[in-house]
Amino acid sequence: MNTANHNIIVNSQFNPMAQAYLTSAVHANGADLDQMAGLVGGRPEAIALDMGCGGGHVAFRLAPLLKKVVAYDLSAAMLAVVAEEARRRGLANIVPQQGAVESLPYPPASFDVVVSRYSAHHWQTISAGLGQMRRAVKPGGLAIFMDVISPGIPLLDTWLQGLELLRDPSHVRNASLAEWCGLLGTAGFAVSSVTKFRLRLAFAPWVERMKTPESHIAAIRSLQQRAGSDVTDYFAIEDDGSFTVDTVLIAAAANS
């Protein structure tokens, strides 16, 4: 399969909405960002990669702790927003770089730290992106992965992926925690810690951020209204369509 085709859809979804991802409360905040900063600590000589940086929230958080952060994304518009915001914050050590996660333009072992947050569920082949991250990080280096995860139960999994796809055609798949651990092991990472969070998605900004068409909004609301109690309880579906998902932060070391 040709990843370029899917990546055109990713670009068409994210390019027009770059500013919205800078200001999105879901992306700009989160206890996971504090945890990432704690895991990284102060490493004034270290270079990090923020894979699928979007509006740059990982890069902004980690840059004061590190020598340099490469903010890497497919979307030129996202990178323009990151560059402007980095200038505004006086973070001169953030280097925007455009490209696809499937083809990182760096020699092996270029980075001390690699991070990806809320991006992997858009990658057509998650194993390809993880393989590139493993190649780019030094043996023993720190890797941090954060994303929305599937509950791993078929009924709930189908509902989650269905709502996500209706909202955004660049959605590929929220992997379950078990899938993440398997993929990371295969890619050459040893998981050292796993922290789960619950994330409430307010419905109006969730669809606004992706410019979801009215017909798809109606389909999502219709599905939500017809869901059984297993689904409504698990995702805490509210009257206005807001709902709550699981996220995970996985810390890992690159195998030597």
* Residue 203 near ligand SAM by CB under 6 A: no
Q: Does 131 bind ligand SAM (CB under 6 A)?
A: no
Q: Which is nearer to ligand SAM, 210 or 227 (CB)?
A: 210
The count of residues interacting with ligand SAM (CB under 6 A) is: 23
Using rule CB under 6 A, residue 118 touches ligand SAM: yes
Nearer to ligand SAM, 5 or 229 (CB): 5
Pair type for strands 243-254 and 189-201:
antiparallel
| From 66, 71, 74, 81, residue interacting with ligand SAM (rule: CB under 6 A) | 74
Identified binder of ligand SAM from the candidate list 14, 111, 145, 206, rule CB under 6 A: 14
CB of 126 to ligand SAM, least distance (A): 10
Q: Given candidates 60, 111, 123, 206, which one binds ligand SAM under the rule CB under 6 A?
A: 123
Q: Which of 40, 66, 78, 227 binds ligand SAM (CB under 6 A)?
A: 78
**Binding mask 181-200 vs ligand SAM (x if CB under 6 A, - otherwise)?**
--------------------
Q: Which residues bind ligand SAM (CB under 6 A)?
A: 7, 10, 14, 21, 27, 52-55, 57-58, 73-75, 78, 100-102, 117-119, 122-123
